[in-house]
Homo-oligomer: A and B are copies of this chain.
Amino acid sequence: MTKPIRLAVIGMGKIACDQHLPSIAGTQKFELVATVSRDGKPSVDGVQCVRSIEELADSGIGIDAVSICTPPQVRHDIAQFAIEQGWHTMLEKPPGATLAEVIALRDAAKAAGVTLFATWHSRYAAMVEPARAWLRGREIRRAKITWREDVRVWHPGQEWIWQPGGFGVFDPGINALSIITRILPEPLFVTKSQLFFPGNQAAPIAAEVSMRDRKGVPVEMDLDFRQEGPQHWDIDVETDAGTLSLSHGGAKLSIAGVENRSEENAMEGEYPGLYKRFAALVWASVSDVDVSPLRLVADAFLCGRITMVEDFIE
């Protein structure tokens, strides 16, 4: 049995506590040796907590890898520091606030000989791989992404999401993009984008984005943070063999109206899947940095037409 990878988790916010810690506790592949939190408050009994990555480096704790769960705006400098220590580095999504900083990290990791894993947790939702497998060889006619959630329910107090580099509604929307870029056979690009900004915020609260692939297959994306009542995280793909519907963010799959309950290719859960993959990357000494979902978001901003809408007050 290989020795567990000694891991520190950095940025003990909602996603770290809800998802990362339970997944790490559930695997033998990692040993949690430290948490890093600005407030210095321990998150796990018996696991040392420090206030910064510099303090972590000075602490004498033996570290092989870090998992960075901070907001995207501060992720680059922490990751760059980690890479300089020779630590394998896993990044929550999105991997950064800009594309160029992620490319710079990728190059730095390569030069340092450490693993960099830019994660897209939604790609590890149970039915994403079965959807991908079913779509192979089908003629794809069009696709529709509907990602509408109530920001007050799902992002309480996350002020960073409204700041530049927080992406607003594209913070969940990039999850949909990480799925669609995984399941469709051809790369997509943005042809039209409408961005709806609350007058008092620096990031969009809703967006309508038209994409297509080079064969002309249209993909429409409807993102909205103002959704009350039923919430939607759905992708529908029309093919020559009927419509494939991924719902619940990739957890459920139906084909031509029939729910697929097969376990074949199904994943064991998003974050357990991420950590399994991270361990495999570390052991193989390779990186996995796919910027295509972030590139589509950048493109949606680059060619976006902006409309100002009602102020958003949480």
List residues of A whose CB falls within 8 A of some B CB.
Answer: 76, 80, 97-101, 103-104, 107-108, 164-165, 167, 187-190, 192-193, 197, 202, 214, 292, 295-299, 301-306, 308
Contact = CB atoms under 8 A, between A and B. Distances in A.
Given A80-B214, A108-B214, A164-B193, A187 B100 contact: yes
- Across the A-B interface, give the 3 residue pairs with the lowest CB-CB distance, nearest first: A100-B189, A98-B299, A298-B298
Give this chain's copy count. Answer: 2
A98 B302 contact: yes
Given A100-B189, A101-B189, 15 more contacts: A76-B189, A97-B302, A98-B190, A101-B299, A103-B187, A103-B295, A107-B187, A164-B193, A164-B304, A164-B305, A165-B302, A297-B302, A298-B301, A301-B301, A306-B306
A304 B165 CA distance: 8
B299 A188 contact: no
A133 B98 CA distance: 29
Contacts of A299: 98-101, 298
Nearest to A83: B214
Contacts of A99: 99, 295, 298-299, 302
A192 B101 CA distance: 12
15 contacts: A80-B214, A97-B302, A98-B299, A98-B303, A99-B99, A100-B190, A103-B187, A103-B295, A107-B187, A108-B214, A164-B304, A167-B302, A197-B306, A298-B299, A298-B301
A292 B303 CA distance: 17
Contacts of A189: 76, 98, 100-101, 104
